[in-house]
Amino acid sequence: MNRTILLVIICITGFSLHAQESNDELLKKLVEKNILTQQEADEIRKESPSKSGQNTFGKKAEKVRNAFNTPCMNFGGYGMLLYKYSDIARIKHDLQPRLLFLNMGGKLPNNIGYFALFEFVNPRLYELYMEWTPAKEFNFRIGEMKVPFTIENPMSLTVLETIPYTRSISALVGMADDVMMLQNGINNTGRDLGMQVSGSLIPMGNHNLLEYSLGLFQGSGLNSSDKNNTKDFAGTILAQPVKGWRIGGGAYFGEATYSLYTGDPIKKHVRNRWTLGTEYTSDRLYCRAEWIRGKDGNIMKEGLYGTAQYYLLPQKLNIVGKVDYFSKSRGNNMEVMDYTLALNYFFYPRCRVQVNYTYSDYSQAWDSKNSNIVHTQLQVVF
């Protein structure tokens, strides 16, 4: 194919937002003016449909979204279909819809915003808050939301590198393995009712040096009234000395009401946490590591994990490695190491197929068998 044909291909690609009929009309005129032969025009048609079709689909999807969305009312959501294999489970192969979230949010006059998030597989309201953002340095939010503690907890499942959250996070930040599960019987997914202030401070060219999030929460979890007369504090402060690299820490001080041991009365117990963490982000590489110390009643707990993600194909295919250590009772050698290897393939922006393999190595005191678990998930964001 000569230089003239290559030039024409570039021109057609640059105008790919036009319909396929427009491209055909352009090629017809080029043939009529003897710039291209009919054979050369046919070759170009064979090379351009896939991109043209993809752009046409994108335009149609954007038109549908714009038809329903306005600045003061935006709709969206995502769904996840999960397959799990476990060599120690009674049911080794399990396929199920994991979740279906629908959300609505928007911006109102006077810098007021709102957001609501509802889940349909196991129907439950997950988030509902109002916020006031007069400046990037100050945001006030009140309602049900993610607790601002650790780097991983505020992350959406749609951007998390692995399918499940890290065990250390799940056990110490109000998720499925936290003592809060004993308090109201559900996975609180790192969310609670309360209020918080947040913002970015000290501009440094193309980024800000400091980010902060501080809040007071009920400590009772999702859609649940308070269980005691105290409120919990959660906060995180992160510094970004160089664009793409953040480092910092946070603390959580509170109480939970439950039975610490089988047969013990239900009563208040201290539920405190401390964390240090860092993350690095570049075009193709992302790394994150966090250390978390926890105290539940008189039991000390600890977690430490590190994860790295690298894009083999930019915006299309990445590989992930994660190592996670968690001790549910320091001093009693009740600990586990999780080793995870994962692949994520994006077939459309924010839509992906994920495959995870995790080997869990339990200590003898934990009294559980070592396991091999495979997760496969289809994620669609709309």
Task: Give dist(CA 346, CA 354) in Å, integer.
Answer: 9
Instruction: Look at residue 246 in the predicted model and tell me its pLDDT.
Output: 98
Mean pLDDT value across residues 37-57: 58
Q: What is the pTM of this model?
A: 0.82
Task: Give dist(CA 306, CA 53) in Å, integer.
Answer: 41
Q: Is the predicted pLDDT of residue 47 greater than 80, yes or no? A: no
Based on the domain organization, do 150 and 12 belong to the same domain?
no
Beta bridge partners of 85: 93, 374
Contacts of range 233-237, beta carbons closer than 8 Å, 24 or more positions apart = 234/147, 234/148, 234/149, 234/196, 235/148, 235/149, 236/148, 236/149, 236/150, 236/151, 236/212, 236/275, 237/210, 237/211, 237/212
Q: What is the pLDDT of residues 199-249, one digit of tens each?
A: 999 999 899 999 999 999 999 999 988 888 899 999 999 999 999 999 999
Q: What is the pLDDT of residues 33-45, one digit of tens each?
A: 565 666 666 665 6
Beta bridge partners of 313: 317
Give me the phi and psi of 44, to 5 degrees please. -65, -40
Based on the domain organization, do 191 and 230 belong to the same domain?
yes
Based on the domain organization, do 181 and 307 belong to the same domain?
yes
Based on the domain organization, do 185 and 251 belong to the same domain?
yes
Q: What is the pLDDT of residues 269-318, one digit of tens each?
A: 999 999 999 999 999 999 999 999 999 999 999 999 999 999 999 999 99
Instruction: Look at residue 150 in the predicted model and tell me its pLDDT.
Output: 98
Report yes or no on 66 lying in a domain. Answer: no
Task: Give dist(CA 375, CA 156) in Å, integer.
Answer: 18
CB atoms within 10 A of CB 183: 23
Instruction: Look at residue 227 in the predicted model and tell me its pLDDT.
Output: 83
User: CA-CA distances (angstroms) from residue 177 to 188, 223, 322, 364?
Assistant: 10, 18, 19, 20
> For residue 363, what is the domain's CATH number?
2.40.160.10
Task: Give dist(CA 145, CA 138) in Å, integer.
Answer: 17
Q: Is the predicted pLDDT of residue 1 greater than 60, yes or no? A: no
Q: Which domain holds residue 53?
A: 3-59
Based on the domain organization, do 169 and 235 belong to the same domain?
yes
Beta carbons of 320 and 203 less than 8 angstroms apart: no
Number of domains in the chain: 2
How far is the first Cα of the chain from the last one, in angstroms, to the nearest whole number? Answer: 40
